[in-house]
Amino acid sequence: MTARNAHFWTGGARGELCLLRCSACRHWIHPPAPICPACLARDVAPEAVSGRARVATFTVNHQSWIPGFDPPYLVAIVELDEQRGLRLTTNLVKCAIEDVRIDMRVRVVFEERDDVWIPLFEPAE
């Protein structure tokens, strides 16, 4: 972790999903960069999003790639409600594999792993 990404991986301690946001034009920035890509302002700071999103796409992974990740598991790209194209790659949890659909509504939950809080998403009504 660095000063540039700590907000993302530790915001879960407070139950918050934090992304960088431009202080000038309010554009959300992800992955983190020290400049706003919309207005080029250098004043960017972490801010909490609602944690609400929809599934842009997903895959059911059946292959074992990393120790500790036991297949099958759901990997998804979710698009946050705050801004078009503001996306995260994540895991979908508390969701049966056969129930996943593109465009389904999800919300953030956190899993504490060592000293970081991993943002995951679960189905939302």
Partner 1 sequence: MKGLEGRAAISGIGQSQVGRRLGRDAMDLTLDACLDAIADAGLDRSDIDGVATYPGGWFGPSGFSGPGIPELQDALRLNLNWYAGGPEAAGQLGSVIEAVAAVACGFAKHVLCFRTVWESTAQGGGGRAGIGTPSGGGSGKGFRASGIMEWTLPYGAASAAVWIAMFAQRHMHEYGTTRAQLAQIALNARHNAALNPKAIYREPMSLDDYFAARMISTPFCLFDCDVPVDGSTAVIVSRTDCARDLLRPPLRVEAVGTALRGRPSWDQFDDLTTMAMRDAGAMLWERTDLRPADVDVAELYDGFSFLAMAWLEALGFCGKGEGGAFVEGGARIALTGELPLNTHGGQLSAGRLHGYGFLHEAAVQLWGDGGARQVHGDPRVAVAAAGGGPLGGCLLLVRD
Min dist CB 123 to partner 1, Å, is 17
| Pairing, β 52-61 against β 105-113 | antiparallel
Please report, as residue ranges, which positions from 67 to 86 form the binding site for partner 1 (by CB under 8 A).
Answer: 67-69, 73, 75-77, 85
* Residue 44: partners with Cβ closer than 8 Å, 6 or more residues away: 20, 21, 22, 23, 29, 33, 34, 35, 36
Among 49, 88, 104, 106, binds partner 1 (CB under 8 A): 88
Among 13, 26, 50, 57, binds partner 1 (CB under 8 A): 57
- AA identity, residue 57: T
Among 14, 39, 113, 122, binds partner 1 (CB under 8 A): 113
Among 24, 35, 109, 118, binds partner 1 (CB under 8 A): 118
Measure the CA–CA gap between 25 and 74, rounded to whole angstroms.
35
